[in-house]
Amino acid sequence: MSLLDTIDLEIRKGEKVAVLGPSGAGKSTLIRCFNRTEAHDSGTLSINGQVIDETTDLVKLRGMVGLVFQNYHLFPHLSVLDNCTLAPRLVRKMSPAQARTLALGFLEQVGIREQAERYPAQLSGGQQQRVAIARALCMQPQIMMFDEPTAALDPESIRGVMAIINDLCDAGITSIFVTHEMGFARHVADRIIFMDRGRILESAPATSFFQSPRSTRARMFLDRMLGP
């Protein structure tokens, strides 16, 4: 069996989708296929009617589909501001002044503008995650994906990052997030995708999934995550 097996999924424009499941279920692999950080080797993947395959311009694709990694992947030798302006200048061909204005606006949005001249190593984990979100937004993507955005954060930072993602979702950006934060998934997502062993076992509105999951595996997962 391949890492992802028999995936059949459609996500609507503006939808907020949480991808849940145990470790090793294929959740991160799934979302990384959307911008070919991971390449699918069979089947058809299309975004806005464009088929995504080995001929796709990856620079344009990753400008359209933003991905915030669990471990941030900031450039350590660049300041926060330079991390955010690099891609708009090189890919979008913005002038330095345009890119700076854009970046400072998004850094303000995520509550970290005052850290613009600092370097990643000088920031906390929560601050680095905010920078990673701002950097992705600077490419003005149509779709935002988050891979365990709160996994390495303390409770206070988790609340801050969750609030930022919630605001982005409310702004109408199509949002897909892999998470183990059940409260976040319950209150933010329109739909839950539940995966196990590379397959999608359930796709359901968030309310109905948490109230009455159809599969035994999903019920076991929720019992373990939510407790008695």
Domains and CATH numbers, the chain: 16-73+141-226 (3.40.50.300)
Q: Calculate ∠ Cα 149-154-145, nearest 5°.
A: 5
Name the phi and psi angles at 115, rounded to 5: -95, 10
The predicted pLDDT at position 154 comes to 79
- What are 37-79's pLDDT values in tens digits? 998 888 899 998 899 999 999 988 988 999 998 788 899 999 9
Q: Is the pTM of this model over 0.85?
A: yes
The predicted pLDDT at position 228 comes to 62
- What are 184-208's pLDDT values in tens digits? 899 889 999 999 999 999 999 999 9
Which stretches of the chain drop beneath a pLDDT of 70? Answer: 1-2, 228
